[in-house]
């Protein structure tokens, strides 16, 4: 039980002096940090030994232990309060925090609409592929690039060609089982849809990552991952979309790390190599 609660609970069965100590602590818990047993005793005009005995009677090893317990107690209390809807001091900090919360919602929703089995299936397809192409346009491009880098570090043959034409060229050499992973927020870009058709014609697998609303790319895909992110402010929604997409891809990556044989060892070796390269 929390020390503060314990003190309050036992307060009624205490002697007069003990009760004075209890009251002081309950009222001034936050000041206790700077009080020695002697100072506390002085403040209450009682003897130092009474303070120590009070502590021991409550089950603490001694006065410093009581103090430690009270400290924990108020920190715990504060933490719980701070979890509740907060009133941010700075308007700026407030909007930063609001953004943070909205992102969490988007990430949660995204997690819920992608069943674990689906993510596992995508991971399996990536593992089975001889070659993986990742592509995305506009804001999705950097994400695609980052994902390709991650996959490469896991010794998955992944590339992220600069533009759609290059992808198309690369696809001409694609074999069965190869995977094209397309990031496309609205799933409506004709160029990407076209790439998907080319790949499927050659027996490859198309994995789409789009918003959860119905769209051409998604309906064409062998495997579809979905992202949910909504905000009435046009400048905020892309931030939510990216965070949710990021999280989805992170979870996929985590799955790959945890299920591929030797993944972590290889990852470490590759990362080490990359680090040396960059620092040279």
The residue ranges that bind DNA (CB under 7 A) are 15-18, 36-39, 45-50, 52-53, 55-56, 61-65, 67
- The site partner of 49 among DNA, its own copies, none (C-beta below 5 to 8 Å per kind) is DNA
How far apart CA 212 and CA 201 sit, in angstroms, is 25
How far apart CA 148 and CA 212 sit, in angstroms, is 23
Binding mask 55-94 for its own copies (x = CB under 8 A): ---------xx-xx--xxxxxxxxxx--x------x-xx-
Alpha helices, DSSP H, located in 3-113: 3-10, 16-28, 37-44, 48-57, 63-83, 91-113
- The site partner of 33 among DNA, its own copies, none (C-beta below 5 to 8 Å per kind) is its own copies
Element holding 265 (H helix, E strand) = helix 263-279
- For 206-225, give one letter per residue: b (16+ CB within 10 A) or e: bbbbbbbeebbbbebbbbbb
- Which residues ranging from 119 to 148 are in contact with its own copies (CB under 8 A)? 119-120, 137-139, 141-143, 145-146
* Contact between residue 83 and residue 185 where contact means Cβ atoms under 8 Å apart: no
- The site partner of 276 among DNA, its own copies, none (C-beta below 5 to 8 Å per kind) is none
At residue 182, φ and ψ (nearest 5 deg) are -110, 125
Footprint of its own copies (CB under 8 A) = 33, 64-65, 67-68, 71-80, 83, 90, 92-93, 95-97, 99-100, 103-104, 107-108, 111, 116, 119-120, 137-139, 141-143, 145-146, 149, 188-190, 234-236, 239, 242-243, 246-247, 250-251, 253-255, 257-258, 263-264, 267-268, 271, 274, 278-279
């Amino acid at each position: 039980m929390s020390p503060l609660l314990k003190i309050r609970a036992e307060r009624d069965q205490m002697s007069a002096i003990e009760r004075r100590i209890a009251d002081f602590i309950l009222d001034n818990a936050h000041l206790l940090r700077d009080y020695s047993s002697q100072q506390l005793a002085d403040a209450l005009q009682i003897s130092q030994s009474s303070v120590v005995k009070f502590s021991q009677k409550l089950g603490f090893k001694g006065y410093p232990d009581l103090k430690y317990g009270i400290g924990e107690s108020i920190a715990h209390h504060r933490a719980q309060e701070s979890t509740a809807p907060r009133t941010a001091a700075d308007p700026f900090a407030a909007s930063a925090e609001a953004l943070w919360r909205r992102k969490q919602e988007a990430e949660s929703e995204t997690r819920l609409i992608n069943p674990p089995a689906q993510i596992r299936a995508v991971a399996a397809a990536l593992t089975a592929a001889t070659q993986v192409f990742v592509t995305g346009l506009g804001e999705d491009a950097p994400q695609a690039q980052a994902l390709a880098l991650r996959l490469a570090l896991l010794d998955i043959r992944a590339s992220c060609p600069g533009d759609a034409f290059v992808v198309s060229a690369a696809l001409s050499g694609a074999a069965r089982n190869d995977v094209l992973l397309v990031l496309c927020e609205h799933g409506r870009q004709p160029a990407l849809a076209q790439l998907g058709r080319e790949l499927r014609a050659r027996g490859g697998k198309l994995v789409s990552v789009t918003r959860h609303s119905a769209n051409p790319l998604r309906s064409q895909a062998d495997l579809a991952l979905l992202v949910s992110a909504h905000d009435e402010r046009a400048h905020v929604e892309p931030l939510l979309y990216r965070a949710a997409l990021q999280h989805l891809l992170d979870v996929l990556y985590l799955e790959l790390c945890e299920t591929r044989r030797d993944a972590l060892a290889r990852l470490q070796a590759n990362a080490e190599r990359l680090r040396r390269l960059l620092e040279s």
